[in-house]
Structure formats: structure tokens, C-alpha cells
Structure 1
Amino acid sequence: MWGIAALIVGLSAAVAALLAIPFRRWGNVAYVVVMATLFLLIRVGADQTIRPPLENWYAEKELAKDPLYKHIFDQYPELREPILTGVIHVANGGSMDSKEWSAMYHTIAPALQALIGKAPPEHIVRFMEVTVAAAKELQRQDPELCFKFLYPDPRGGIDSTRYLDPGTQKEMMKMLNEGAEAAVLHPHRFDGDLDELMEKHVAIDQFTQEELLAVATPNENTDAALACGASIRIFDQILKAPEPDRAELFRGLLTEG
């Protein structure tokens, strides 16, 4: 945020020059030394007291222009500070691969996921494709990770950044962000019959009663391998369905299921 940095430097220099005026009678060298010392002291103080609120104000002003983050600020005011912290961290030279940015994104992910069900068809399908790929990746490591990834409520979710390949994680974040933004700009709603769509495109007779129960009512005692495996098979069958049913099935599961 070069504008803020320049403003602080300018203010610090101006204040230092004013405060150093009484020392002019000591001579030019002494005056310059005093002014430089005052400038450094004021600059340090400004960085600690003036810079943070200015950065927050600027970041919030810029994010308010973004429809997605304006929506999140309006609907989830408690996420305002974590988002501003992450954005300012990156604006000040921090990496988007850093722990600070990942922590911020992990915090707001549920708010973004809540929007996916309203996204246009192509965004829903792309998001679910990468979600299924991530679930399979976690399944290979440990079915429990897969279960907690797909069903975070019963036994708590996971920090996917710790387990997923960086490329998969980056693609997930991209699809999640793009899908959520599209949902705010071009919201869709589910108008179909979920049961009818499921019967049409998912071969229920290929699943045992235990598998269907594990997927329909996941709880703290659910067999992780059973629920994870059955969920992935269901998603794979849906991904093979033609449009528009494929996107509508996922929309129904995300909003009605």
C-alpha cells in the first residue's frame, strides 16, 4: 500500500520539520540531526499508531467495491477483521501461500461454500469436479480425512491445506472464489425435484442400505470409509449425467440435500 506509506512519510517529515524549528539557532548541522532524529521517532510511532487504521480503512474501502466481499461483510460482519488482516498481509508483501493468508481463507470458506449452491451451472460443476478430486486424494491418505472434508459437522472438519496437494488446494480456492462471486452477481435457485433427479441419474440399487444411511445421515459414529466411498461413487455418477440435470442435481444437494 504505497499510498499509505508515502502519506506517513510525508506527515512524519512535516511534523519533524515543525518540531525541529526551535533548534535552528544551534546551527544547520545540529538542526538537520535533530530533524532526522525526530523524523525517525515520529515515523516509528506513526507506523504503530497511524498506519494500522489507515490500512484497514483503505482495504475496507477497496473491498467494498467487490460484490462478493461486500456481500460477505453484510451477511457475516464477524468475518470483516479476518478478511482485512489477510488482505493487508498480502498487500504489504506477504505471500498468498503464507500461513496468514491460508488461515484467513480457511475462516471465510464456509461463507463462500454457502453461496455455491446459487452459482450458475458451469461454476457448480467445476467446483464439484475439483471437490471430488480432493475427496479422492484425501481418501487415498485416510478415509477419516475424506469424511471430515465432506461432512465437517459430525466430527469436525479438517484444514485441507495440510493434506491436499498444493495444486489441488489452489484450484479449489480458485473455483470456490469464482463460484461464490458468480452466485452473488448471477444467483440461481433450485426449482427441480431432487428425488426425481436422483432416481434418474444415480443407480441407488448399486449401494447397500448401510452406505445410503452413512451418506444420508452422517454422524459421529459413521464409518468414515463407508461414507467417503459411497459419496464419491454418487458424485461420480452425477458428474456423468447430461446437462442441465448434472448442475441441477448438485445444486439440489447443496441447497436442499
Structure 2
Amino acid sequence: MNWAHVLLAGYIGVVIAIVVGMFRKKGWLGKISGAVVFVVAIIAWNLFDVHYLIPRENPDYGLTEEQQFEKAMLSNPAFQVIKEQEPALTQKIISQAAQMKKAGSSEQQVIDAIQPQILQLQMARLQQAPDANVIEYMKINLEQIAAVAKIGDDECFRFLFPAVKGGINPARLVPREIMDRRMASDMSMMYASHGPKKHTVTAEEKQLALQDLQSISPGLVQRYGPDIQIMADPTKAVGKEKIACEIVQDLWSQVLKLPTARSAGVIRLMLSAEMQ
């Protein structure tokens, strides 16, 4: 099993969690001119860059599965940070992956087991990351979406909603320079969330974020009308792939137009555990 492939796919597939819809929790967002109800839909996809996945020329003969997995982990900069900050979680992932391999699990099954654990960690770190790191995180997400959208509407839709029509390998479509910056950004965010300038989310920040979302919602409804329902049910986007891509980019572009602190607050809220 190519552990480098498994690790990168498992990590990146959850770090780049793209919120593709708004949300409506009881008592939080009211109906807007009788429009559709917005929901949160976080879509994770395996974005892995081929230059991280090329196996070493010399196989790790004589090493156990756990040793091979840990060696692959140490060659991945993002996982180095996780091992440094969360040694217990790291060991759990190593043991789990090795056991699954011995039990005959496929690479994808191992990836699927790793992703929720990394997702939970990343979501927690974003809550503590300074505003600048949170903003950079989302800006790079948008760059990746835009790069795929330039190739075609169908590719963009598959990139955002792999469960509907099947996904793509964005490593062939997203420029390496963007992928490299994303990995560096993730590492910076992880370190900053544990640094002296780490952020603390307040009740006031959450309330302001909700108000900002309320101000963004009417514009989206006005521009896209009934098609906004795509965000609640992506299967309705078949034949409307271009619109689906535009809504996702429009949503996050509007969020990023807010003042820095407020934009970061909205991103934290929409990617927080309580919104899942």
C-alpha cells in the first residue's frame, strides 16, 4: 500500500473542506421572502499533488506496516506538525491504518477512516487560528476552485460535489504552485493556533457572524432564485453544473469582502463543530 498516497489524500481531503451552502438553525435564520431554506453542506475531497505521492525508489524492505506508515508520515510536512502537536492522535492513526491494512482494507477505506479524525483536528485549529491565517485558508480554497473552473463546468462540479457524479484528480488541474502554498498555509495555521497570538471565539463573534450571514443571504437568493436549492441538494445541479460552481464561489467571495475580523468569524462559524 502506498502510505504516502494514503496520508496525503487523507489529510488534504479534509483540510480543504468546502462549505457549499448556507445554514438555517431554528431561531437563527428566518425565511427570506419565502425563499428556500439554507443548510450547511461540507464537501471534502481528496486533493493530492502528484509530487507528494511519487514513491521512493528504494522500498522500505524489512519495516513493519506501522514503521512504513510512520516513515511516510514524517516525509509529509503537514503530518509532521500533527505529530508534534498531537502525538496521541498520531499514534492512533498509525496503529489503525496498519491494522486495517493487515485486515485487507483498501487504500480508500484507510483514507476514509483517517479523514474524520483529521477533519475534527483541523476544525478545532481553525477556531483558534488568528484572523489572517483563517482568511488565507479560505482564499487558497477559492484559488483552487477557480483553477478547476477554468478547465470546465463539469470538472468544477465534480471537484466540489464528488458524491453526485464522481470526482476528479485535481492534481492534474490545479497548478502545483497553488498546492504548495496551500500546504504551507495549513502548516502556518496549525502553528499559529498554538502560538501566543491564538484566537478565542467569543459569543459576540458568533452573533456578529450570524448577522453577517443574514446580510449575505438575500443577495444570493436574488441572484440565483430557486437554483439556490442546489446547495441543499447537489443532485439538483445535474445540468446546472456552472450555476453550482458559481454559487459556491459567490458565497465565499461575499464572505471574504467583509472586514477581516468579521470575515474570519463567519468562516470559523461555518466550519465549526456546532454547525455540522
- Structure 1: unaligned runs, 5 residues or longer: 1-46, 85-103
Q: Are 2:133 and 1:117 equivalent residues in the alignment?
A: no
- Give the CA RMSD over aligned residues: 4.2
User: Contact 2:82–2:90 at 8 Å: present in 1 too?
Assistant: no
Q: Is the Cα–Cα contact under 8 Å of residues 154 and 218 in structure 1 kept in the other structure?
A: no
* Match among 251, 257, 271 for residue 234 of structure 1: 251
Q: How does 1:1-257 map to 2 (within 5 A)?
A: 48-49=61-62, 68-70=82-84, 74-75=88-89, 79-80=93-94, 111=118, 113-115=122-124, 117-118=126-127, 119-155=129-165, 157-183=167-193, 186=198, 188-189=200-201, 191=203, 192-193=206-207, 194-201=209-216, 203-215=219-231, 217-222=232-237, 223-255=240-272, 256=275
The answer for unaligned runs of 5 or more in structure 2 is 1-59, 99-110
> Do 2:74 and 2:80's aligned partners in 1 also have CA atoms closer than 8 Å?
no
Amino acid at match of 1:249: V
Structure whose CA Rg is larger:
1
Identity among equivalent pairs (%)? 15
- Structure 1 residue 190 displacement after superposition: 6.7
User: Which stretch of structure 1 is more off in the superposition, 231-240 or 157-166?
Assistant: 157-166
Q: Say how many residue pairs are matched.
A: 189
Deviations 1:136-189 (A, max 9, x none): 111111223323433445555543222101111111222223223433554644
TM-score, scaled relative to structure 2: 0.52
- Alpha-carbon separation, structure 2, partners of 1:167 and 1:67: 21
Distance across 1 between alignment mates of 2:177 and 2:216:
31
Q: Is the 8 A contact 1:68 1:184 kept in 2?
A: no
CA contact (8 A) 1:154 1:219 kept: yes
- Counterpart of 1:147, as a letter, is F
Q: Which of the pair is proportionally richer in helix?
A: 1
The amino acid that maps onto 1:117 is L
